[in-house]
């Protein structure tokens, strides 16, 4: 895990530097880790398998869903009827999962000006 942490920090630093160069040239934000995840099929397959395994385990335990993070892939959806919520991360994606008083979950992108990029899932019945 120590080496992974160093790699993650290096990737974030490289991404910040790269976007610092892009900004004055008029280009918008670009996520290096997002690009690598999308390009590396095994990683995408791993994330999908991780999400599905968590949803299946929650269903096996008769739970309405699962809320997790760490893999930096914000998501809020149902997987075979089970709610899967991943808050993503605050550093790169600036995302969070919030629960409303009525039990509804919402994936929010607080730094998105219009907050148009939100996803909502009704709470457990």
What are 68-97's pLDDT values in tens digits? 887 778 889 999 999 999 988 777 778 888
Q: What is the 3-state secondary structure (H, E, C) of 48-110?
A: HHHHHHHHHHHHHCCCCEEEECCCCCCEEEEECCEEEEECCCCCCCCCEEEECCCCCEEEECC
Residues 11, 92 contacting (CB under 8 angstroms): no
Looking at residue 122, its pLDDT comes to 59
- Work out the average pLDDT over 18-28: 90
pLDDT in tens, 92-121: 778 888 889 998 999 988 765 444 444 556
3-state secondary structure of 25: helix
| Of 82, 88, 79, 80, nearest in space to 107 by CA | 88
* Residue 56, burial from CB neighbour count under 10 angstroms (0-12, 13-18, 19+): middle
Residues 111, 95 contacting (CB under 8 angstroms): no
Is the pTM higher than 0.85? The answer reads: no
Domain regions of the chain by residue span: 1-30, 35-121
């Amino acid at each position: 895990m120590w080496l992974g942490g160093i790699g993650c920090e290096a990737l974030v630093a490289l991404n910040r530097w790269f976007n610092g160069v892009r900004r004055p040239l008029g280009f918008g934000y670009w996520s290096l880790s997002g690009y690598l995840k999308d390009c590396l099929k095994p990683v995408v397959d791993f994330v999908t398998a991780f999400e599905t395994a968590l949803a299946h385990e929650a269903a096996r335990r008769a739970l309405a869903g699962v809320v997790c993070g760490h893999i930096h892939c914000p998501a809020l959806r149902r997987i075979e009827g089970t709610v899967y919520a991943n808050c993503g991360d605050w550093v790169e994606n600036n995302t969070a999962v919030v629960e409303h008083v009525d039990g509804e979950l919402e994936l929010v992108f607080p730094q998105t000006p219009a907050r148009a990029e939100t996803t909502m899932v009704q709470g457990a019945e």
